[in-house]
Amino acid sequence: AQRVTQPEKLLSVFKGAPVELKCNYSYSGSPELFWYVQYSRQRLQLLLRHISRESIKGFTADLNKGETSFHLKKPFAQEEDSAMYYCALNPSNTGKLIFGQGTTLQVKP
């Protein structure tokens, strides 16, 4: 079965602390994975994708096929990072995204 799991509904950290938002996936093929972010009162937007291996707003995510994970990390959280984060899988490059349940990141001052 194709599935994306984000085990934490809420992650609360202080400003400057490291952040890791967990994402695990279930997919038999070669996965195409994304992190999307939704800031308060804004639409969902792409944060980063595993293919590009880039760092956006200080966030990185590494695909670990052995652990079937795609955790999102940032070494020093900022208050403006507070948002809802969704991990998503695009199976077979169809464009049909399978979303995880989402994790609310709360960065406290």
DSSP summary character for residue 79: G
Q: What distance separates the 2 farthest-apart alpha carbons in the chain?
A: 42
Binds other proteins (CB under 8 A): choice among 20, 68, 97, 106: 97
Cα angle at 8 between 6 and 9, to 5 degrees?
100
56 binds other proteins (CB under 8 A): no
96 binds other proteins (CB under 8 A): yes
Closest of 84, 109, 98 to residue 8, by C-alpha: 84
CB 72 within 8 A of CB 35: yes
Smallest gap, in angstroms, from Cβ of residue 29 to other proteins?
15
Q: Which region, judged by CB under 8 A, interacts with other proteins, from 20-28, 59-67, 73-81, 95-103? A: 95-103
Q: Which residue, 42 or 55, has its beta carbon nearer to other proteins?
A: 42
Looking only at residues 6 through 45 of this chain, which bind other proteins when binding is defined by CB under 8 A? 32, 36, 42-45
